[in-house]
A = this chain, B = another copy of it.
């Protein structure tokens, strides 16, 4: 029973919720996508809202977390409960936006013709009569046989439930949706010209979908949304813990994954003006945990050594059974996982980049909420997972944020002064992963961060450092910090700055990745110079400068010139496997071929990690 009504602005979206509901929960119900990095724990400070009208109850340490923003009337949606009818304003910076990057990737079939797993065949059936008493299904299968389908069969009861009425209403002229010789669904009339599919990348944080015309392979629309599972924790481990509590919790996570995917499907279909019921195939990628949660499989063993997946093979089921909002008879499938912490998304990256067919050795680094590294070529592929943590996505960074409008995404220190850019050119309101890497790389070059990662202070500062830079070295919350954007220029009531702790977080994150790269190279018996291409996948890989990534040592510095961004390669892999059965089979082959290297099992990992956390001895460039 709805006790209070809340209106969200400027969306003008209304929803009824029980009295005492959190603003964050109400916003989700109303379809207002509020950002929440910490999973509602009241610490990330992202889920900003302003109570325009209505009675609320505040919880947690909002004043401490929000500082000046609190005084300016902003509140945390995850720590504010609605006690009466209310109007809530959600500012732009609190919203999840569709990163441009998600549109970018190698979405190309090249020379191949589309060859999807499903097809449509239009048939007209002779009407039943007293002298031709065949069952409706048998009549349809006979017509399909005459129409050239070899040994058609129907193993799915679902396709039959409405068949008698559908056939008669359609005057016995229908279109069959088939997977090889298997009847999946029947549609009234001639619908062969409408054969759509959707490729979905179910990320820990973001869900992206690409709507595709399966007859041509053309991408018709792209949509994305926040993974509703973030309300149960922003990282994979907290979701596993939640899921481990029981079957009901697992179902909640499954429902959240589905509702997010369904929202993406709805948006993409609306954009392209495609009826959802005409989407006949869905292909998913995502990490191993996401695949488990999507299918309702207990993921608890993923979080315990030796981190075993319940299943590696790709799973599939009809959409109606799964609860995916496309044609109920549509085929829903996932690409296979490689291991407990290297999932179908990595298979997608390999498939889309084509490194499994390359003669040269390539290195692929996909950094999302977690980081995966793949090394190899058509002879051999090695993969590992790196617990980089979400620092590259702006989490655990004091003023970190995702790559949305107002995020500082590039920083330069030249001739003793600082320049920066923000996404969308808007006043700075935080720093995203690429800005973080740039900032630290620049500070490194400027000699303001030493090899161990320590920020310079009055005592350690070289004499030739410019007054501007000196003035930027301040103290924030009792620790050294470097101001990138002054309070005057920023959108906040305070400067945008990098603290010593932020640098340490970056070191942990980049150290994990770099150690993984190191161990894969050792395992393969290769030197960095043997790598011909470094492929940076994902949003982070798209926005960072390769020079900065090399500078901080994310990958060996000598490979700087060989590095390139490949965009959402995981999503592109899902697209390719959606459009071509041959490529789907290739994805399965990839999953079988990749050798998974468990870093936790390596005695050399700890020292490699300790070493990789340091910055390489730099040639100081400018002061």
Contacts and interface: CB of A to CB of B under 8 A. Distances in A.
A140 B337 CA distance: 16
A157 interface: yes
Contact of A163 (B128, B164, B298, B337): B298
A601 B154 CA distance: 29
A312 to B, nearest CB: 4
A596 interface: yes
A135 B306 contact: no
B309 A135 contact: yes
Contacts of A135: 308-313, 337, 339-340
Given A133-B339, A138-B313, A596-B133, A161 B297 contact: yes
Contacts of A164: 297-301, 308, 310
B160 A309 contact: no
A598 B168 CA distance: 21
Given A133-B306, A298-B165, A305-B130, A160 B596 contact: no
B598 A138 contact: no
Interface string A586-600: 000000000010101
Given A130-B601, A313-B137, A161 B298 contact: yes
A321 interface: yes
Interface string A278-320: 0000000000000000011111110001111111110111000
A134 interface: yes
A164 to B, nearest CB: 4
A185 to B, nearest CB: 14
Q: How many copies does the complex hold?
A: 2
A560 interface: no
A600 B299 CA distance: 59
A301 B166 CA distance: 11
A194 interface: no
A315 to B, nearest CB: 5
A299 B135 CA distance: 11
Contacts of A315: 157, 160
Interface string A147-184: 00000001101001111110010000000000000000
30 contacts: A128-B308, A130-B306, A130-B598, A133-B307, A133-B308, A133-B340, A135-B311, A135-B312, A135-B313, A135-B337, A135-B339, A136-B301, A136-B308, A136-B309, A136-B311, A137-B313, A138-B313, A154-B311, A157-B296, A157-B315, A160-B297, A160-B315, A161-B295, A161-B298, A162-B298, A163-B311, A164-B297, A164-B299, A164-B301, A164-B308
